[in-house]
Structure 1
Amino acid sequence: MTDLSSKKKESFQVLLQQLQLTEDAMVEHFRDALIDRVVVEKKQKKWHFFFQFERIIPSSLMSRFTTQLDRSFSHIANVTSTFNVLDQSVTEELVHDYWKHCVQEIDGMAPPLLKLLNEQLPKVQGHKVVLNVRNETEGMAIKNKYSGILANIFQTYGFPILTIDTVVNQDSSANNDYEEFRKAKEKEDQERALMAMVEMQKKEAEKDQGDAGVPDGPVSIGLTIKDDADLRRLEEIVDEERRVTVEGYVFHAETKELRSGRTLLTFKITDYTSSIMVKMFSRDKEDAAIFNVIKKGMWLKVRGSVQNDTFVRDLVMIGNDVNEIRPKLRKDKARDGEKRVELHLHTPMSQMDAVSSVSDLVSQAAKWGHSAIAITDHAVAQSFPEAFGAGKKNDIKILYGVEANLVDDGVPIAYNSAHRLLADDTYIVFDVETTGLSAVYDTIIELAAVKVQNGDIVDRFESFANPHRRLSSTIIELTGITDDMVENAPEVDDVLREFHEWIGDAILVAHNASFDMGFLNTGCKKIGIGKLPNPVIDTLELGRLLFPDMKNHRLNTLAKKLDVELTQHHRAIYDAEATGYILIKMLKEAAEKGIEYHDQMNDYMGQGNAYKRARPHHITLLAQTEAGLKNLFKLVSISHLNYFYRVPRIPRSVLQKYREGILVGSACDKGEVFETMMQKSMEEAEEAAQFYDYLEVMPKPVYSHLIELELVRDERSLENIITNIVKLGEKLNLPVVATGNVHYLNPNDKIYRKILVNSQGGANPLNRHRLPDVHFRTTDEMLDEFSFLGKEKAKEIVVTNTNKVAEMVDVIKPIKDDLYTPKIDGADEEMRNMSYGMARSIYGEELPEIVEARLEKELKSIIDNGFAVIYLISHKLVKKSLNDGYLVGSRGSVGSSFVATMTEITEVNPLPPHYVCPKCKKSEFFDDGSVGSGFDLPDKDCPNCGIRYTKDGHDIPFETFLGFKGDKVPDIDLSAPRYQLKRLVTSKFARRTVNSKCGMIG
């Protein structure tokens, strides 16, 4: 015997003396006992003793020992203990000795089962304990629910792992007793059901009696309110009034019995301009009965007085007369019987911008009798599955599309290219200040320029121009130019003629030259000079080429970088002079890049990250065919993966490459056709429009923010722009369609979008103006919006052309009937090799039959059904995350897949509880249901190697994950961090609970 063992025995004998257990019987049974170790948790004040006994101690002595142990140390800590018995021989007498004691430790057992266990002593056959039960139901309840618990309790006292089994008692008296009990229970249940039915009939009768006098038709309390009654909007009620009539939707209603015996009806009503509380007091029982009929969801017309209620501290209506009315729902009656189709609609998948669900929108379109509806979220296709389901349910055609961000592959740095040597040329660096941004509807108020030769400014040109209109406060604030400064200025035509003579054939230079040249060319055309042929350089685009790492390339930013003084920004002469000095320094930088001639500049267009420098324009893409839908998905992916800069972008060349099967629309006010028509000439708009398959125009309220932002002068100018786009469509033989840019269902839903947009603060440019009205419009509402075009033209763009575009689109299914898993070459073989490789590293080269059978069963199901690639992707994701230091674990039924365990997707081992030696790979499995979890197995050493076994296994069937036929699509859920779950399973009870109830730990 080693010195350590002797000391452990001595320690136990000292403990017996301390517990005052010194009588001969006690000492005899504990003669070879020892204290193996004690685990002390100071903070929790817990001590856990690990004892080793030679053999199992009689129940009475064990009970005395544990009681004294707990009592003696209770003032110091909470004491628990574990017993390891060397000789685990089991006899029937020993099991009987512990039987009632172990049964008493079971919590929550049904009294009949508890009585059954207490009234018998089981038969013992080796390590098998057999119980008598009266029927199969009792047997199943004991085996499924309590056999594992009983076995664990016995094990805590040093018993080996026992198997609890049951046998149905064939004794006729016992069966008769059970049969009598069952019949008595059925009789009792029938009596209870009869009593419940009588009680329910009684309540129904009372209710019918109480509802006497309640009308079958529309609810009416008091007098009938005539249709010609002077209705008031709730937002107009701001003070007390003697008599007023309102109507609206009831969103809250309740009745209350008062001490006086009268009934108080309180309901809240809204007409979506505001809301008010209405109170009514019953006069008699008939009133009280009718009050109960007022419910949430009704539409009511109410007449009464408005008073200031001191109780609620607000204006309250005291109702006298209440009439139920038909719901104020919008209907698409369509004067001519033909319905429109909405081709531009957003769902909540247009991130933080739309509020109505796609199901509601599709359902509304179907109720209105529309033949189709398009889904065009911002740059994503995530609403397609829900839209597909809604379309199927409502029998309406769904057009699948997106509103994308189109960018040019490269924005020109130079225009009117000419082979002219930059170092020796003359430059006219100019700037214009205008009444607005539209070259068509606005005019120049200041034109200034400097002439640059040989790196120096040699001449200047400066002149105001009379716009013959008052300047807006925004323009005055931005430029510093006032009405007094331009009131007596020369005419714009005269200024342009003088400027044309002064510039000669010099190279023109401007910052954002497309804007300045737009005003210059438009003005020159009006006076008969025509479009200027001079070569042009845009310093904005040249700056983007030369200094790609700058955050922005505004004039003041470039001036600061190049150390150029900018005295008074947004005054033409000062901006022109600063731009002149910037040009001089930029030409030196360009020369170092090898740019010597004007016509070389555009050779560098599109280099580097040109898509970041380009300004995106909105376009609408509709999948016309199945091939088009595939291309649409490709474009969405490419825009997010390869060309994302602030927003996902699609270069024009990429769109052209994948344009097959896609209809391209010109979109909203951020589309290039509308912008060009608004800010430039008809000719330029025509050039831009040729890229599209159809042109879009929207109701004036959708464009209202453009007037507020002074991008469009007034409503008349807005009508001109829309009219010109319609004419442009006629000229190019392109269908022009009226679309609503829908972001919500009903007009009153606007407030929800407003809340959503306002929550984003300055990050969302929509917060710079009032939000436009972008609800889902009916056919008549849309026809009214375009009545300024004339009845026939309005119907053409609202009804005829929208249906025409919808008919051009095939019926497409974005969700296929079959499963289309991704494809990775060699995925099947890789999964098989990985699974077997990991299994052999744990269980040895010769796999146990139970391990190999489970692997083959799962791999056959996974590979045959094409799921291997899903497993492989999940494996790579988990592996990558862990390698990068991000904890991740699985959750859900994937814990029942042994292949998932072997490929490190989950840490749960679904095999039956077992031991396995980490060195020699010897294993012992418990597949008889006697152990709930491998974590509950006692510690044990490998008989071959003498090292501690690893314990694992949770006995979870594979069918939990992929179904009984193994063909259910895998749903592998991953979450983090995994250590949080690990911390929960610190005790045997917690481990048992988590594993038995969840069947998994991630």
Structure 2
Amino acid sequence: MSENYSKLQILLTQIGHGDDTFINQLAGISLDDVEVIPEDRKWIFEFSTDRFLDSTLLARLILDTKNTFSKENINCDLIFRVSQKSGVNELNEYWHLVLALIDHSTPYTNEISRGINFVNTGERVEALLMTQAGIDYFSNIKDLIAQAYLSLGIGIPFVFTIDSEKQAEIQEQFENSQAAEIHESATEVAQAAEPEYHTNILLGNPIPDSTKLLPLDEVNDGDNVVVEGYLFKSDYRETKRGGAILTVEITDYTNSISAKVFSRSKKDNETLKNIPSNLWVKIRGRVAVDDYMGGELSLNINDMQTIEKESDSDPIDENQKHRIELHAHTTMTTLNAVNSASELFAQAAEWNQDALAITDNADVQAFPEASASAKKTGVKAIYGLEANYVEDGEAIAINTNREILKDCQYTIFDIETTGLSAVNDKIIQLSAVKMKNGVVLDTFDQFINPGFPLSEQTINLTGITDDLVKNSKPEAEVLKMFQQFYAGTILAGHNVIKFDYGFVNHALAVHKLPKINTLVIDTLNLARWLYPNFGRYTLDFLSKKFSVNLEHHHRAIDDSTATGMLLHIFLKEAEENYGVVYDEQLNEHTDDHESWRQTRPTHLSILVKNQTGLKNLYKLVSESNINYHYRVSRVPKSLFN
């Protein structure tokens, strides 16, 4: 087994796809490299593959990886190098995935790009859209779209243009529909006196109640089965020869499957066309591999009928006080909800809940529907928002005490760990250098035995092996030695405030040792303030930029020495250009240069108390979209003042 395939298996297991089925579907793909940028809390995964993957499969890999690592506040980029030559087919297939990757998959963008079609005219590749609004919108973010396609291995230039043939077809359909409405109204009047005929049979013959049901996660190719499930999507299409195909998607919450049936006559066409979605059904048919769906299993329908399904019961005993949900997302939150506001209010009413808070992410478009649903159900609507909250700027120094910065001794420290979680992971190396005016005075370098074997990923990233740590001192002893080493100096590090400082303080608390209370300066935030146009602020990048020697990146002692040299350069620049003499003056510049752009957003729930609060919430959303939009709409702390 190759090392690259082993890396891929580790990643898939970590994101919850370690089963053989998913791994087999990824045959031909390998994980070639993983670049970790700790100071930006960013991981870059580089893959290579001999072919373009199915868009659904690729979306699961990318989005599940991003979601898994985001729980640890890690931002992930996945880059694919594909041997197969790309074309318009790949542009069409990956369109919705690309929108999701650039955070532009919304009900609005899905509507204005509905029916998009990439075609090669011979002279250029055109992305055909049905409206000018779509062309204007996507042209403004074309660079983002092209970059996302490139990360998927598709580097084809294209232009957005109007699909004139489609526009003419829509106009014709509209004109025909006007005549059809008149005819339909007359028909309804004529049939009003006819008795209604109720039946639960949608297709074929009745299915006996005694028939054994098979869960969807147990069906196999070639099985004749009877299944029950919730029909959540239906797609009716007519063929050029006058026939029709109905494809439905059903789930029984053990798995989901597509089911198909083909019409045999025009009468069948009408039957298939009128089959609705959002209902529970029982289906009898044969399971087979569908080549048109990339080799996925599909169910060929023989018989289908509706079934009565009891709704979920009230989870709270009627004698107890009912809960109030204060954080509910609707379908207006991209890729994070499946229910509309009206469905949520209907469920809350069924469970006898008095109120429901709608808090979509960065969005208030569900409020009108929520208001109407509240009146209809009698459930009070609480209006709110899940904001992408950011600080106006990251602190450059903490534990400030009006200390003079010049001619002081600094202890620059760095740690290597088994992961990024201070709670679940361990420190395996703690190194520091004591410096004054850019000159090294003393060094401190200790390995720590974590008490368990190091993972392959940790060894590859840090270069630290089990042999290096197995006979080292225990963590508590190393921490005491470090406290004695830095006593009477100013602490510093690169990304130290968000990572090293918290990690060490947690370890000190575990061993009941005093936490760090001395002045700490972060060279990452200092560099972002002094050099706002650099774009990158990794330690290796800054070292090259300022000609500072960094021989072994991700070895703590080398990183500490390079950071100390950069600190001397940065503090000298701050004094000469900004008159910074005391530690507290550093934090006076945290909100310079639109520093809110460089801060990683966290979710903050905001609820409205009254009409004034609702008005203020609308202002907040407007400000975040107009003046503070960078990748996502952000709400900086200063907007609350």
Which TM-score tier does this pair reach, normalised by the shorter chain? 0.5 to 0.7
3-state SS of paired residue (2:323): coil
> 1:600 matched to which residue of 2?
585
Q: Does 1:522 align with 2:503?
A: no
Letter of the 1:467 partner, please give it.
P
> 2:317 matched to which residue of 1?
336
Question: Gapped runs of 5+ residues in structure 2?
Answer: 1-186, 237-244
Equivalent pair of 1:234/1:270 in contact (CA under 8 Å): no
Letter of the 2:308 partner, please give it.
R
* Deviation for aligned residue 1:347: 3.5
> 2:329 matched to which residue of 1?
346
* Deviation for aligned residue 1:621: 0.8
In structure 2, relative to structure 1, the CA distance for the partners of 1:648 and 1:434 (3 Å cut) is: same
1:948-967 map, 5 Å: none
In structure 2, relative to structure 1, the CA distance for the partners of 1:219 and 1:334 (3 Å cut) is: farther
Letter of the 2:603 partner, please give it.
H
In structure 2, relative to structure 1, the CA distance for the partners of 1:419 and 1:268 (3 Å cut) is: closer
Quick one: which of 407, 422, 431 aligns to 1:424? Answer: 407
Quick one: which of 523, 540, 548 aligns to 1:539? Answer: 523
CA distance in 2, matches of 1:378, 1:247: 34
In structure 2, relative to structure 1, the CA distance for the partners of 1:546 and 1:310 (3 Å cut) is: closer
3-state SS of paired residue (2:543): helix
CA distance in 2, matches of 1:509, 1:384: 48
Higher relative contact order (CA 8 A, sep 6+): 2
Equivalent pair of 2:491/2:518 in contact (CA under 8 Å): yes
Letter of the 1:378 partner, please give it.
N
> 2:465 matched to which residue of 1?
482
Quick one: which of 361, 368, 372 aligns to 1:385? Answer: 368
> 2:479 matched to which residue of 1?
496
> 1:248 matched to which residue of 2?
229
Pairwise CA RMSD: 4.3
Letter of the 1:561 partner, please give it.
K
Q: Does 1:458 align with 2:454?
A: no
> 2:394 matched to which residue of 1?
411
CA distance in 1, matches of 2:249, 2:597: 51
> 1:633 matched to which residue of 2?
618
Q: Does 1:234 align with 2:216?
A: yes
Q: Does 1:439 align with 2:422?
A: yes
* Deviation for aligned residue 1:411: 2.9
1:902-921 map, 5 Å: none
CA distance in 2, matches of 1:443, 1:539: 24
In structure 2, relative to structure 1, the CA distance for the partners of 1:368 and 1:524 (3 Å cut) is: closer
Equivalent pair of 1:218/1:325 in contact (CA under 8 Å): no
CA distance in 2, matches of 1:625, 1:579: 51
CA distance in 2, matches of 1:310, 1:547: 55
Structure that is richer in helix per residue: 1
* Deviation for aligned residue 1:584: 1.7
Letter of the 1:325 partner, please give it.
I
Letter of the 2:639 partner, please give it.
V
> 1:35 matched to which residue of 2?
none
In structure 2, relative to structure 1, the CA distance for the partners of 1:625 and 1:300 (3 Å cut) is: closer
Letter of the 1:591 partner, please give it.
E
3-state SS of paired residue (1:423): coil
* Deviation for aligned residue 1:547: 1.6
> 1:624 matched to which residue of 2?
609
CA distance in 2, matches of 1:456, 1:309: 69
- CA shift digits 1:933-979 (9 cap, x unpaired): xxxxxxxxxxxxxxxxxxxxxxxxxxxxxxxxxxxxxxxxxxxxxxx
> 1:274 matched to which residue of 2?
257
Quick one: which of 496, 500, 508 aligns to 1:513? Answer: 496
> 2:556 matched to which residue of 1?
572
TM-score (norm 1): 0.38
CA distance in 1, matches of 2:356, 2:532: 43
* Deviation for aligned residue 1:306: 5.6
CA distance in 1, matches of 2:363, 2:200: 50
Quick one: which of 556, 560, 579 aligns to 2:540? Answer: 556
* Deviation for aligned residue 1:506: 1.2
CA distance in 2, matches of 1:310, 1:595: 68
CA distance in 2, matches of 1:309, 1:442: 45
* Deviation for aligned residue 1:522: 2.2
CA distance in 2, matches of 1:639, 1:267: 41
* Deviation for aligned residue 1:436: 2.3
CA distance in 2, matches of 1:466, 1:433: 12
Letter of the 2:612 partner, please give it.
A
Equivalent pair of 1:379/1:403 in contact (CA under 8 Å): yes
Equivalent pair of 2:316/2:322 in contact (CA under 8 Å): no
Equivalent pair of 2:400/2:519 in contact (CA under 8 Å): yes
1:266-305 map, 5 Å: 270-271=250-251, 273-277=256-260, 296=276, 299-302=280-283
Structure that is richer in strand per residue: 2
Identity over aligned residues, as a percent? 40
Equivalent pair of 1:235/1:274 in contact (CA under 8 Å): no
TM-score (norm 2): 0.58
In structure 2, relative to structure 1, the CA distance for the partners of 1:215 and 1:433 (3 Å cut) is: closer
Equivalent pair of 1:220/1:324 in contact (CA under 8 Å): no
Question: Gapped runs of 5+ residues in structure 1?
Answer: 1-195, 255-264, 282-287, 658-1002
CA distance in 2, matches of 1:382, 1:301: 36
Equivalent pair of 1:416/1:533 in contact (CA under 8 Å): yes
1:832-981 map, 5 Å: none
> 1:158 matched to which residue of 2?
none
> 1:612 matched to which residue of 2?
597
Letter of the 1:341 partner, please give it.
I
3-state SS of paired residue (2:537): coil
CA distance in 2, matches of 1:534, 1:508: 7
Quick one: which of 561, 564, 574 aligns to 1:590? Answer: 574
In structure 2, relative to structure 1, the CA distance for the partners of 1:439 and 1:235 (3 Å cut) is: closer
In structure 2, relative to structure 1, the CA distance for the partners of 1:624 and 1:477 (3 Å cut) is: farther
CA distance in 2, matches of 1:244, 1:407: 53
In structure 2, relative to structure 1, the CA distance for the partners of 1:335 and 1:457 (3 Å cut) is: same
Letter of the 1:586 partner, please give it.
F
CA distance in 2, matches of 1:252, 1:377: 27
* Deviation for aligned residue 1:555: 2.0
Letter of the 1:601 partner, please give it.
L
CA distance in 2, matches of 1:317, 1:383: 38
Equivalent pair of 2:410/2:435 in contact (CA under 8 Å): yes
3-state SS of paired residue (1:343): strand
In structure 2, relative to structure 1, the CA distance for the partners of 1:588 and 1:322 (3 Å cut) is: closer
* Deviation for aligned residue 1:355: 5.5
3-state SS of paired residue (2:605): strand
Q: Does 1:362 align with 2:342?
A: no
1:91-102 map, 5 Å: none
Letter of the 1:597 partner, please give it.
Y
> 2:636 matched to which residue of 1?
651
Letter of the 2:609 partner, please give it.
Q
CA distance in 2, matches of 1:311, 1:558: 51
In structure 2, relative to structure 1, the CA distance for the partners of 1:305 and 1:455 (3 Å cut) is: closer
CA distance in 1, matches of 2:599, 2:505: 23
* Deviation for aligned residue 1:573: 1.9
